[in-house]
Amino acid sequence: MTAPHRPPAPPPLRLDQVECWIFDLDNTLYPASCNLFAQIDIRMRQFIAQTLKVDLDQAFTLQKRYYRDYGTTLRGLMLAHGLEPDAFLTFVHDIDYHALPPSPDLARILSDLPGRKLIFTNGTEKHAENVLARLGLSHHFDAIFDIRAAQYVPKPNAESYHRLTSRHAVDAARSAMFEDIARNLIPAAEAGMTTVWVHEPHHADWSGDPGAHLPHVHHITDNLTRWLAEIVDARRSAVP
């Protein structure tokens, strides 16, 4: 059977024309080298082992298989085992947030960046609030769109992006999306968003992401704060 034809994605918007900035949370708003997600990774494995009565090696295999096949480990557990999601989400996000240093420079840049700013995460709103509070960014975002708002359908499912844009009246063609996982930018680019891959090339990659040699990645940075600062400076320079 021939695959359905997809029209080519529109070219990326000039960054001085962006009106809505959409940010993933983990390993995007803070450096992946903080290793916060390592705690979540371990707790997912523990939850699977306890719930499915398997050893940690088997749990690890299932965890990564479900992530690869379903977008998130949680989605795989829900579809393959009928798991109720709240217990899983509560358990895996019971972590120590002190691994995150405050980010006053990023807070300043976000204050100076014109336009709406949204969080789009496969985690929970509570987890996002904890991260933002620790980073000192709580007052810089207009909304958090979490896994519950997505009805537990995670990125990179296009359905989740449609729910985000519908709920928050986002014009994809006037938006930019930031992600540490390159494959999560595919539906964003197809919807017409300008995409930015936030990637530390020498850090262990929890996502197993293939890289940025793909047309849906419009920009790449290994330093979100510095990259946004350049955008803010360019916008100021453009004002007569």
CATH number for the domain running over 15-32+102-238:
3.40.50.1000
Give every residue of the chain whose pLDDT is below 50, as ranges. 1-7, 204, 206, 212
Q: Which two tokens stand for residue 151?
A: 């009805």
| pLDDT tens per residue, range 156-185 | 999 999 999 999 999 999 999 999 999 999
CA atoms of 27 and 210, how far apart (whole Å): 16
Where are the domains positioned within the chain? 15-32+102-238, 37-92
First to last CA, the chain: 56
The continuous run of DSSP H or E covering 121 comes out as: none
pLDDT score of 234 = 83
**What is the CATH architecture assignment of 37-92?**
Orthogonal Bundle (1.10)
Cβ–Cβ < 8 Å for 75, 153? yes
